[in-house]
Amino acid sequence: MRISVIGCGYLGAVHAAAMASIGHEVVGVDVDEEKVRRLSRGSAPFFEPELDSLLTAGIASGSLRFSVDPREARDATVHFISVGTPQQAGSDAADLTHLDGAVSALMAAVKDGDIVVGKSTVPVGTAERMAQRLRGTGATLVWNPEFLREGWAVKDTVDPDRLVVGVPVLGDDAAASLPGTPTPEGERAAAVLREVFAPAIATGTPFLVTDYATAELVKVAANAFLATKISFINAMAEIAESTGADVVQLADALGRDARIGHRFLGAGIGFGGGCLPKDIRAFTARAEELGRGDAVRFLREVDEINLRRRDRPVALATEALSGSVHGRRITVLGAAFKPHSDDVRDSPGLHIAARLHGLGAHVTVTDPAALENARRAHPELSYVADRDHALRGAEVVLVVTEWDDYRHALDPERAGALVSVKTVIDGRNCLDPSSWRTAGWDYYGMGRPSVRSRAAVRSRAALDDRAVSGALV
């Protein structure tokens, strides 16, 4: 099929390359000339495993090209919109400027019978508005949210967990229709998308047809659920820190209940990136607009728990350095919001590094992929590409991104010979505490007991005991 992809950021570039890889003829359109130049050379403007080879193969075979001219979309019959919907400045709501711009550009390119497919994450109700804008062009709008994860974007696009397709449905007044029954054009649009995604469907990927609002909600609800799961375990980490319990053992035991599961129960410094934080805020803002703020008020708490976790490594570093980080040397391992990515948007680790710098520490940051982006976001910090060089002379080592380079490839004996004080704060609970302790390190995890926290718990128990005995007397 002939496909256009409007917006070639993270989502669009991967989608365009993936669609070409499954046999479609694809043009990717973006307003950013430099991005289009790079993509046309087969080089992704961001770090994503497997993407460069997919781009190169598509371009070489002639099935993939990129352009700044939206008129290039005219030959296509299916048009994906994959522009960003960032958080508005000064508000929690999503900024739909790029989406409105993409629809305007498409209105001049689409023809009767074309399918326009929204993939961007949007506030519920947006698809209906976009469908009204497209009325009169003869094109049908469908909403097909994307669930890809950075670092796994190619796999998630080619072989997704599920495909959700929101289509126009019959109105309540339509005689004898069940609510949510697709209109004839909705049926046709769903059939076209079945053809687009035929290889994934053939391998068993569920294809779920819904109305617009449900499709839009599936996306934000999924991200809200994932964020809630992370904040839940981080809330347990806070309780563990006051009781001497170990949140890693707790998560392991909880996850063995098949109804709960292990994934996204990783306690640490919390979630960041360009999706979960802004999506839960935009969801809350939209629910408030709809007069249903109460239904998702807990997401404000989820956000607060998440942001509060960033205080913990700062407090631990301050404690380890006897009350002040001022003038002390702290090495931060990681800058990306998660491994296998060079994305530093709302990166908890980078935020912590900047706070420590603000408190007067000499902070050195290293990361296998995200140094350039980190430098642009926080030019005030010192950056060192080589991990071992970065470790030299550190008085505290802080792990904020669980790259393999730190979790598996960093030997505590070897690291111990490089630093000046053997204190490590594991912001992602990704190191093995016993091997670090055996190598002579003071190890601090998130929500995990340390010698110091155990002593505090024991003295609190003694006080409680005295209070209880006193009350009994």
Q: Which stretch binds ligand UGA (CB under 6 A): 95-103, 144-152, 204-212, 407-415?
A: 144-152
223 binds ligand UGA (CB under 6 A): yes
What CA–CA distance (Å, rounded) separates 299 from 277? Answer: 10
Q: How far lies 18's CA from each of 13, 119, 167, in Å?
A: 9, 14, 23
Residue of 76, 230, 302, 390 that binds ligand UGA (CB under 6 A): 230
Helix (H, G, I), strand (E, B) or coil at 56: helix
Q: How far is the CB of 245 from ligand UGA (least distance, A)?
A: 18
Number of amino acids touching ligand UGA (CB under 6 A) = 22
CB-wise, 265 or 419, nearer to ligand UGA? 265
Q: Which stretch binds ligand UGA (CB under 6 A): 99-107, 170-178, 222-230, 371-379?
A: 222-230
Q: Which stretch binds ligand UGA (CB under 6 A): 66-74, 142-150, 359-367, 418-426?
A: 142-150
What amino acid is encoded at 93 in this protein? A
Whether the CB-CB separation of 267 and 446 falls below 8 Å is answered with: yes
Sheet holding 140-143, edge to edge: 64-67, 25-29, 2-6, 78-81, 115-118, 140-143, 163-166, 207-210
What distance lies between CA 328 and its chain's CA centroid?
32
Residue of 21, 63, 121, 228 that binds ligand UGA (CB under 6 A): 121
CB-wise, 29 or 335, nearer to ligand UGA? 335
123 binds ligand UGA (CB under 6 A): no
Handedness of CA 428, 156, 70, 128 (dihedral sign): negative
Q: How far is the CB of 5 from ligand UGA (least distance, A)?
A: 16
Residue of 35, 79, 338, 387 that binds ligand UGA (CB under 6 A): 338
Phi, psi of 330 (to 5 degrees): -120, 130
Please provide the size of the chain in residues. 473
CB-wise, 192 or 370, nearer to ligand UGA? 370
Residue of 2, 129, 149, 392 that binds ligand UGA (CB under 6 A): 149
Residue 430 among the catalytic residues: no
245 binds ligand UGA (CB under 6 A): no
Q: How far is the CB of 154 from ligand UGA (least distance, A)?
A: 13
The DSSP string of 72-102 is: GGGG-SEEEE----PBPTTSSSB--HHHHHH
Q: How far is the CB of 464 from ligand UGA (least distance, A)?
A: 32
46 binds ligand UGA (CB under 6 A): no
Residue of 54, 226, 247, 415 that binds ligand UGA (CB under 6 A): 226
Q: How far lies 103's CA from each of 130, 164, 185, 217, 325, in Å?
A: 7, 21, 19, 21, 51
Among 69, 56, 64, which residue's Cα sits nearest to residue 26? 64
Q: How far is the CB of 132 from ligand UGA (least distance, A)?
A: 25
148 binds ligand UGA (CB under 6 A): yes
Q: How far is the CB of 107 from ligand UGA (least distance, A)?
A: 26
CB-wise, 20 or 153, nearer to ligand UGA? 153
Q: Which residues in the 252-281 window bind ligand UGA by CB under 6 A?
A: 264-266, 268, 270-273, 275-276, 279
The DSSP string of 323-355 is: T--TT-EEEEE--SSSTT----TT-HHHHHHHH
Q: How far lies 7's CA from each of 11, 82, 85, 373, 462, in Å?
A: 8, 5, 11, 21, 62
Q: How far is the CB of 115 from ligand UGA (least distance, A)?
A: 22
The one catalytic residue among 6, 116, 275, 410: 275
Virtual torsion, Cα 151, 157, 158, 160, nearest 10 deg: 100
Query: Residues in the site for ligand UGA, rule: CB under 6 A?
Result: 121, 146-150, 223, 226, 230, 264-266, 268, 270-273, 275-276, 279, 337-338
Which residues belong to the active site? 275
